[in-house]
Amino acid sequence: MALNERQRARMRSALEAVLRAENAVHDVADELARQGHTAEDAALDRAAALLEELVPILERLAGGRG
């Protein structure tokens, strides 16, 4: 299925958001580990917050609200 320009732009936007989320989770986990915190717990909390930012994008891609 070929995507039109608008669909490609939406997909690029979603991909960029996912990549930012991934990088931020790694950055936070690394910083917290340097501070002696349990990186896994803190990274999961930050990942959840970042993923919430993806919801409106994904809703738009799915044709729902957002």
**CB of 54 closer than 8 Å to CB of 14:** yes
**CB of 50 closer than 8 Å to CB of 24:** yes
| pLDDT, tens digit (0-9, with 9 covering 90-100), for 32-53 | 778 887 767 777 777 777 877 8
Confidence grade of residue 28 (pLDDT, cut at 50, 70, 90): confident
C-alpha span between 66 and 51 (Å, rounded): 15
pLDDT (0 to 100) of residue 20: 84
- For 19, the token pair is 């990549």
CB atoms within 10 A of CB 10: 16
pLDDT (0 to 100) of residue 66: 47
pLDDT (0 to 100) of residue 21: 80
* CB-based burial label for 1 (10 Å; 0-12, 13-18, 19+): exposed
Task: Provide the residue type at 12 as one letter.
Answer: R
| pLDDT, tens digit (0-9, with 9 covering 90-100), for 3-22 | 688 887 887 888 788 778 87
